[in-house]
Structures are given as structure tokens and as C-alpha cells.
Structure 1
Amino acid sequence: MTDAIEETARTTTTNLNYLLLGPDINRRFVSRGVEVNTGTYGPYPTVIRDGRTIRSHFSFDRHGFQLLDAPTSIVDFHNKTEVEAHYQAEVAKHVKKSFGADFVHSQGWMLRTSGNIPKKKTTDQDGKPYRHYGGLQPSAGEVHIDTEPSRQLAYAKKLYAQSRPDGPGFKRFIMSSFWRTFSPPPQDCPLAVCDARSVRDDEGVPNVLWVVDRIPEGEEMFREMDDDGQLAAAIFRHNPEHRWWYFSGMERDEALLFKFHDSDSSVGWRVPHSAFWDESFPETKKVRESIECRTIAFFEN
């Protein structure tokens, strides 16, 4: 599965949080500035390889991810008006070119930080309930994929019909994340991605997403809810065969593009990922600020 060149990569060891045995109901509640899982996670010592010096080695079909040169026109990623007006179209162009797709549908964006998040009211300034879109959230600190395989074809068909009502249809789709860090390197809490070739098709447990104004507590988190009607992520138990990578010192004109779900499962079709605390640069590391944009790339008939 591995190539000799991969053994030349620098490594660092950290803890990644994998799902442990626990409640049968797995849910992820998100609200402004906070995200809580009902599942129990535990740290596993894990080797992370630094792909910086061999970045041209990685491919979407084999590994499921690539580090791209992706210049951006955005001056201030904290300016929501500027980002909303320009960034999703910019990302769609990069994704379309990278995958060779016919059409790309953007699904919104989110800022994340490893630093402190200012406390705000649970509703937006216009009084509307919290939307999990365009805000500032903490870095995601457990091994997961933002999509659960069994729900994705129906979701892709729905989005395609909405965005391309007169389109010819599609034969393949790729859901992905376009991840950019815009704070100076080296970042203290970068993103690690798992080589798709090291992930078995039968791995992963559904984790149902609930966007709420207030995070429930105690038994309220496990009450009867229509989980089947919600979007869900996949969360993972520890597998020593998982092979992890990151790219140290990412600059703002680079982006990590990785697959959530490729309907063509004959290639590397999904990439578990997690933030981690990188101790490689203890004297110079800086708070990580990043922006992620989710897209679906369609290959039409």
C-alpha cells in the first residue's frame, strides 16, 4: 500500500481521539462556538507523517487528498460580507479544476480556531435561531468524516435537482472539504488526514448532526428524536492500520482538498480527519485560524 518515498517523510507523534465503547445513540449537537458529542472518545498515540517535502506524491484516486496551490482574493477572512460575496465561487473553481468535474455546488463555509472564541448570544443579531454556517467554531478534535455513506446518494440527487433543474443528470459525485489556514505558520493545531487506502469500507459509525440554539444536557441528549431525518457524520474506532498525514507550515495561498465521499468506491473514496496539537515547533507555533468550504462536484452524463 505504501511507497518508499513515503518513508522519507518527517514524523511527529500525537494523540488522536477515537470513538470508545459507550452509548448506542451517537449525536453531535452544535451551537454558536460549541460542539458536543454524546459518544465517548479516547486518545490513542498516533504517528503523523509530514507530507510537505513530498507533496506532489499524493493523489485523489490513491490517497483521497492533495495539497493545492490555491491563491485567494479574500483580504480578511473575518469579514463575513467579503467571504460570503466571493469565497464560495472561488473555491468552486479550484475544486472543479482539481477533480475535473463538470459542475460544483458549494454548501457553505465555516471558520475554526484553536484559540478562544468570544462569547455571544445564542441567536444571531437579527433574532433568528443559530445556523451552522459562516460562523466561528472550535477545531474538530476527534476522528471523523462529515458524511455518512448510506445517506449521500439521496442527498446528492436532491442538491443536483435544486441547483441544476435542467441538467443532464450525473454519473458520479464527490463531496469534499476545501480547507485553508489563514493564520501564520507554524500553526499549533493543524489538520491531519488519513490515507484513504488504510481505511476499510466497513469502518465508521453514524453520528447524527443536530444544530440547536442551546446544547442539551444529561439525559436530554438521548431523548427520542427523528435521527433518521437528519444529516450524519461517520465517526471511527481506533484502527492501528490507519496511516495519517499533514502538511506543516501551510500558507494562506495553499489549501488541503480532501474527500468526504466519492460515489466511485473503486478509488480512494473517503478520508477520516482530525485536528491535532503539533509539538514539532514548540517555540514558534501560533494559533491556528482556518476556513473550510464544503462542496459537491458532479460528473454529468
Structure 2
Amino acid sequence: MSTTTTTTTTTATAVNTTASDYIPRGPTSAELTFYAPPADDSAPFNYVETPPPGQPKYNYGSQTERISLTDIRGNEDSFNLDKDSFQTLRNIPSATTYSTFDSETSIRETYYPEVESLLLKHVPNAHKIILFDHTIRRANPNSPRQPVNRVHVDQTPAAALARVNLHITDPAEAKALSEGRYRIINVWRPLTAEPVQSQPLAFASASSVDENDLVPIQHRYPDRTGETMGVKFNPGQKWFYWSGMTGDERLLLKCSDSQGYRDGDVAQWVPHTAFTDGRTPVGARPRESIEVRALVFG
């Protein structure tokens, strides 16, 4: 597979990172990894689990660019789901503790109801929520799921509709709901109360992303094939991050919106990726986070 590396001259602001409790904040820059097409121009794919014998895990390449990142800390209310495809929530009460996230059962029994209530309260016109999966990521070499350091979008419009039909078992109800507005929204949060120091999340405002920047990628499961999207670099993209996120803050990431691709009057998706901040101090806490993925109807 092909790999292209491009270097620009923008650099992160120099800081003293000798204090292990330092929280990187403010404008910075970082290398982000974007999509590059397969060398043979074939359809791109990615195997979610072990690929069949003779097949690579994925067949497309990458392009690395140094990107300027704006810290939204202090300006959180300037962004919303309809315009940017991301939105922040602060001072969110929770009955969870760190140990809640050690068990699938406790996540679903304790945290899922909080996420459902959160979305019903904060997403206008939402009337039905289906939480269909979650992922815990830890920036630890022994963790099975690491932060993803590749710019991507979780869903295509076709994959979002397939999710409706997969999770709504009554065909008549699925048809009725799919004819209305439905969105896929990820709810992202750190697992700990302490601020995130390493491997924060970068996200681009949908208002700066051209549809031609996005490439459908077959997302091959053992029993079915979904679609995600790779993201090509475009200098017009505007990239952001939220410095030092804490356990009482939530980042909503909209990955699909049926109203957006039907009418074009609202944002549809948000490219995002973890990134390595050069200001992260030695001895910083490894990032630990959970993202819960939701179908939001209405």
C-alpha cells in the first residue's frame, strides 16, 4: 500500500513540559494522518477483525500533514451539531466511577441510561434513542483498543440507513423511522475526572469539509459489510480540539444526518482523529476514553 508524507513549516508553540501535570492548551499544530487511495485504484476496504488468508488488514495508504489546531476551550458555545457536526456539553452529572467502565454490564446498566437521557435532553426534536455499541480506548500498549490516529468519519449515508434496518427489527417501524430524520451521534468522554493530557481528539468543522474530501471505505465485519469514510487532506479544512477534557464534559460527534443528505441544509458528518501533541509532558496520564454510538430519531 502506498504512503505519502508531506511536511509543512508550522510548528507547535514551545512550552515547558517538564511538569508531569501540565495540561497542553491553546493553539498548536500536529501531524494528522489522512487518506490516500490504494496504489491499484481498487475499492478501499478495512477488515474489522482478522482478515482472510492472503488479504491485508486494509488496502489504502496515508498522507501525513502538519495541521494547525484551534483550542475551543473558552469558546465552546460557538459550535453546534447542525453547523459543525460537533457540540460540547459541560458540568454533566454522572453516577459512574472509574470502575464502572471495567464491566460491559455496568457500562450498559449505569452509563447507557445517562447517555440516552443526555441525547434526549440536548438534541432538538429527538424522541427515540438506540445505543448500538461503544468502544473504550486506552493509550496503553497493552490495551486492545488504542486511540485511532487516522482521520476518518464513522458512517456513510448508506451505512447509517443500514444501521436503522439492523437495529429496528420491525420492518414497518424501520420504514417509518427511516422516512423521518435520523442521525448517528457519538458521545465521547474521558473515563477519569482528571483532564486529558495525551492523545486528545481533533475534529474538523463540517462547514469547512468538502464532500469530495470524503471517500467511502468498506468496513468488513465477519458477518456483514458496513462503510466508513476516509478523509483526504484539504487545506480549507478547519481543525479544532478541546484541551484538557474532564470526566464531567461530553463531546457530541455527528457522523451522519439524513436531513443533511436529503436537503443539504444541515451538516452531515465530522472528520476526527486522535493526535500526538508535542507539548505533552513526560509522565503524562495515558488517555482513557469511551465513545458510545447512538441512533437518534427525530
TM range (shorter): 0.7 to 0.9
Closer, same or farther in 2 for the Cα pair 1:109/1:163, shift >3 Å? farther
What's 1:17 paired with? 33
SS, match of residue 147 in structure 1: coil
After the TM superposition, which of the residue ranges 63-72 and 139-148 deviates more from structure 2? 63-72
**C-alpha deviation, 1:268, in angstroms:** 1.6
| C-alpha separation in 2, matches of 1:255 and 1:80 | 20
What's 2:242 paired with? 247
The answer to whether the Cα contact below 8 Å between 2:48 and 2:220 also exists between their aligned partners in 1 is yes
Identity between Structure 1 and Structure 2 (%)? 26
Task: Summarize the alignment of residues 133-212 of structure 1 with structure 2, pairs less than 5 Å apart.
Answer: 136-162=144-170, 165=173, 169=177, 171-183=180-192, 184-211=194-221
What's 1:270 paired with? 269
Q: Provide the alpha-carbon RMSD of the alignment.
A: 2.6
Closer, same or farther in 2 for the Cα pair 1:167/1:98, shift >3 Å? farther
After the TM superposition, which of the residue ranges 36-45 and 99-108 deviates more from structure 2? 36-45
What's 1:285 paired with? 284
SS, match of residue 85 in structure 1: helix
**C-alpha deviation, 1:285, in angstroms:** 3.1
Closer, same or farther in 2 for the Cα pair 1:138/1:148, shift >3 Å? same
TM-score, length of structure 1 as denominator length: 0.78
| C-alpha separation in 2, matches of 1:176 and 1:159 | 15
SS, match of residue 142 in structure 1: coil
The amino acid of 1:185's aligned partner reads: P
Offset from partner CA, 1:69-116 (integer Å, 9 cap, x none): 233212221233311322222211111211120111111111001111
| Number of residue pairs aligned between Structure 1 and Structure 2 | 257
| C-alpha separation in 2, matches of 1:263 and 1:82 | 32
Task: Summarize the alignment of residues 69-108 of structure 1 with structure 2, pairs less than 5 Å apart.
Answer: 69=90, 70-75=92-97, 76=99, 77-100=101-124, 101-108=126-133
Residue 230 (structure 1) aligned to one of 222, 225, 228: 225
SS, match of residue 68 in structure 2: strand
| C-alpha separation in 2, matches of 1:72 and 1:231 | 32
| C-alpha separation in 1, matches of 2:171 and 2:186 | 19
**C-alpha deviation, 1:186, in angstroms:** 3.5
The answer to whether the Cα contact below 8 Å between 1:88 and 1:108 also exists between their aligned partners in 2 is no
TM-score, length of structure 2 as denominator length: 0.78
The answer to whether the Cα contact below 8 Å between 1:185 and 1:285 also exists between their aligned partners in 2 is no
**C-alpha deviation, 1:267, in angstroms:** 1.1
**C-alpha deviation, 1:155, in angstroms:** 3.3
What's 1:217 paired with? none
The amino acid of 1:201's aligned partner reads: E
| C-alpha separation in 1, matches of 2:285 and 2:113 | 29
Closer, same or farther in 2 for the Cα pair 1:239/1:82, shift >3 Å? same
The answer to whether the Cα contact below 8 Å between 1:173 and 1:297 also exists between their aligned partners in 2 is yes
Offset from partner CA, 1:116-160 (integer Å, 9 cap, x none): 125xxxxxxxxxxxxxxxxx4111111111102233234324434
The answer to whether the Cα contact below 8 Å between 2:187 and 2:292 also exists between their aligned partners in 1 is yes
Runs of 4+ in structure 1 over 4 Å off: 161-168
SS, match of residue 249 in structure 1: coil
| C-alpha separation in 2, matches of 1:285 and 1:105 | 35
| C-alpha separation in 2, matches of 1:164 and 1:105 | 17
After the TM superposition, which of the residue ranges 144-153 and 276-285 deviates more from structure 2? 276-285
Residue 110 (structure 1) aligned to one of 111, 127, 135: 135
| C-alpha separation in 2, matches of 1:263 and 1:287 | 36
**C-alpha deviation, 1:284, in angstroms:** 6.2
| C-alpha separation in 1, matches of 2:135 and 2:171 | 21
SS, match of residue 264 in structure 1: helix
| C-alpha separation in 1, matches of 2:203 and 2:278 | 17
Query: What are the ranges of 5 or more consecutive residues in structure 2 without an aligned counterpart?
Result: 1-24, 51-55
| C-alpha separation in 1, matches of 2:158 and 2:104 | 33
**C-alpha deviation, 1:65, in angstroms:** 0.8
SS, match of residue 242 in structure 1: coil
| C-alpha separation in 1, matches of 2:96 and 2:172 | 28
The amino acid of 1:95's aligned partner reads: L
Residue 52 (structure 1) aligned to one of 60, 73, 80: 73
